[in-house]
């Protein structure tokens, strides 16, 4: 049985080892340049950090003065533990789901996160522009950025601050979302902000057999207790159904996890210092500046220091009503495909936060419904039927939002 060309191109994309910490961006850029040539798209590359290309494939609209549509995806993927995979993670093995070969699973790192999205954009443009010879009102830019999986600091963060980004005149951006084991399409209109904070306490030292006062541990323990209580309170909110009986999502609460703990040199020596690191993800409903001040005050109250390893200070969200001129068109395109929209706050961080902070409305969508969540997992895969459905999805959505007057 022959493989569809769109599937074969997807397999080729998956086989490019854009895996952190040494992603092969050069081969990836050449692949994208070839796609641009085949599709008749304008092609440009800009490196804000050497060896980390931002690649843009542009389809000019009939009214290029109108704000454009950004189709964003990242090209890098997270590392793998090959011994836990059933198939080599960069072979993109195509495995039949039944004896008749009615469908296939394509196993590869990045298949869900997020090469199905980037490839879906290009195949949708291929259908609209090349096969159907349609023209969009607004210019469409398919943007492929590096290093999202390690924070996007050398990719999207620098890109949105550039004159090249300003020249795109972006009106709406689509970016990655997450699969849903349920039937609805998850649409992320905001995301929780990372707060990685390390509390450092210093105190008196001495022999472990003595009652030594003012130790580092005495200062640090109340801080840890306070944040673990915050964690418990937020967990109870998360477990409490909404007024309509539906389950809350992680995006509605703030999570706090103790991820680093360090102190001591040996059992009989009271340590001079102790530290605790927390990974906190703040819901956009929180006042981020006030939250930071509270943590600083907590540390000061107990004679410790608060060191912010990472702190995101913007809680912008994208409107999902008629105040956003693109939302009605987007929603109609989705529901026309028989999908229900499930609006959510993304529980972690994506490059959408840079776009929203720059004032660009951004919606995170990965069109995988009734599918397991496999991002960063062993044996990551998508079904061939899901890829084909994603192409249908993006063709409809792009045609809708790119033709908003």
What amino acid positions are annotated as catalytic residues? 76, 148
Tokens for 308, please give them.
Answer: 């912010």
- Asked if 122 and 1 touch (Cβ cutoff 8 Å), the reply is no
Rounded Cα distance, 186 and 240, in Å? 21
Number of Cβ within 10 Å of residue 67's Cβ equals 17
Tokens for 131, please give them.
Answer: 């096969």
Sign of CA dihedral 324, 329, 330, 332: positive
Nearest-CA neighbor of 387 among 184, 149, 124, 38? 124
Rounded Cα distance, 370 and 6, in Å? 22
What is residue 22's three-state secondary structure?
coil
Rounded Cα distance, 355 and 160, in Å? 7
């Amino acid at each position: 049985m022959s493989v569809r060309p769109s599937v074969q191109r997807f397999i080729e994309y998956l086989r490019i080892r854009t895996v952190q910490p040494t992603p092969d961006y050069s081969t990836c850029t050449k692949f994208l340049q070839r796609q641009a040539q085949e599709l008749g798209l304008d092609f440009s590359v800009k490196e804000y950090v050497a060896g980390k290309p931002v690649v843009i494939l542009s389809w000019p609209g009939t009214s290029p003065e109108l704000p454009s549509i950004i189709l964003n995806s990242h090209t890098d993927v997270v590392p793998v533990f090959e011994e836990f995979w059933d198939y080599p993670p960069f072979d993109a093995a195509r495995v039949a789901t039944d004896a008749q070969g009615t469908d296939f699973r394509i196993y590869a790192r990045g298949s869900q996160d997020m090469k199905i999205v980037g490839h879906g954009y290009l195949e949708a443009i291929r259908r609209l522009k090349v096969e159907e010879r349609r023209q969009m009102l607004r210019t469409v830019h398919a943007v492929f950025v590096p290093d999202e999986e390690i924070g996007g600091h050398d990719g999207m963060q620098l890109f949105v601050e550039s004159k090249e980004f300003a020249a795109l005149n972006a009106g709406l951006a689509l970016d990655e979302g997450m699969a849903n084991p349920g039937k609805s399409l998850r649409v992320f209109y905001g995301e929780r902000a990372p707060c990685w904070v390390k509390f450092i306490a210093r105190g008196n030292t001495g022999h472990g057999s003595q009652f030594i006062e003012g130790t580092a541990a005495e200062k640090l323990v109340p801080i840890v207790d306070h944040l673990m209580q915050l964690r418990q309170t937020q967990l109870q909110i998360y477990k409490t159904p909404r007024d309509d009986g539906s389950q809350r999502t992680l995006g509605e609460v703030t999570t706090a996890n103790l991820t680093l703990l360090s102190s001591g040199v040996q059992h009989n020596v009271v340590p001079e210092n102790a530290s605790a690191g927390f990974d906190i993800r703040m819901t956009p409903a929180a006042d981020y500046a006030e939250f930071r001040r509270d943590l600083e005050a907590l540390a000061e109250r107990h004679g410790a220091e608060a060191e912010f390893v990472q702190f995101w200070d913007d809680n912008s969200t994208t409107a999902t009503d008629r105040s956003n001129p693109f939302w009605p068109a987007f929603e109609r395109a989705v529901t026309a495909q028989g999908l229900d929209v499930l609006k959510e706050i993304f529980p972690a961080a994506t490059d959408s936060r840079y776009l929203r902070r720059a004032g660009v409305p951004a919606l995170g969508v990965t069109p995988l419904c009734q599918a397991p969540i496999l991002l960063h997992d062993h044996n990551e895969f998508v079904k061939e039927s899901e890829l084909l459905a994603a192409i249908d999805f993006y063709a409809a959505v792009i045609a809708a939002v790119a033709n908003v007057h």
